[in-house]
């Protein structure tokens, strides 16, 4: 299992692992598992459109990280196979709507309450 820092963009790691998983790579024969992103259902709408600086919230990867919350959140959700809406059960409809808008094709949005699940066809 690999856990990235909260605001780390997953694309560079995915590219690195993809190369290592090739037949001549260091991880030949291994397979990718599921990429999951866990978000706070109560604040997802605010965070997805926030122009707050990551550093102002103590979430910057470096002291000079010049990204805003929304800019960090969007690629994380787009890369996830599963987005878990945590913290508030049942998850608000608006959290499902925002996650649905930001997720990638074929991904799923689930709530901490197992009966709530949305999927998008590939």
The reply to whether 60 falls in a domain is: yes
Q: Tokens in use for 30?
A: 């291994």
Give the pLDDT score at 114: 62
**16-33 residues labelled b (16+ CB within 10 A) or e (exposed):** ebeeeeeeeeeeeeeeee
The reply to whether 22 falls in a domain is: no
Q: Which domain holds residue 72?
A: 32-119
Three-state SS for 40?
strand
Residues lower than pLDDT 70 in the chain: 1, 114-122
Give the pLDDT score at 118: 58
The reply to whether 85 falls in a domain is: yes
The reply to whether 6 falls in a domain is: no
Give the pLDDT score at 29: 82
Give the pLDDT score at 62: 87
Give the pLDDT score at 121: 47
pTM of the model: 0.78
Give the pLDDT score at 69: 93
**What DSSP line would sit under 72-105, residue for residue?**
HHHHHHHH-SEEEEESSSSPPHHHHHHHHHHSPT
Q: How many separate domains does the chain show? A: 1
């Amino acid at each position: 299992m690999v856990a990235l820092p909260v605001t780390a963009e997953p694309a560079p790691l995915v590219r690195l692992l993809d190369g290592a998983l090739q037949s001549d790579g260091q991880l030949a024969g291994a397979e990718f598992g599921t990429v999951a992103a866990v978000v706070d259902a109560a604040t997802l709408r605010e965070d997805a459109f926030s122009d707050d600086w990551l550093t102002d919230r103590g979430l910057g990867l470096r002291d000079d990280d010049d990204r805003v919350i929304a800019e960090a959140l969007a690629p994380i959700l787009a890369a996830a196979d599963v987005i878990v809406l945590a913290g508030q059960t049942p998850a608000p409809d608006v959290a499902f709507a925002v996650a649905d808008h930001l997720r990638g094709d074929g991904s799923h949005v689930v709530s901490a309450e197992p009966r709530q699940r949305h999927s998008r066809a590939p």
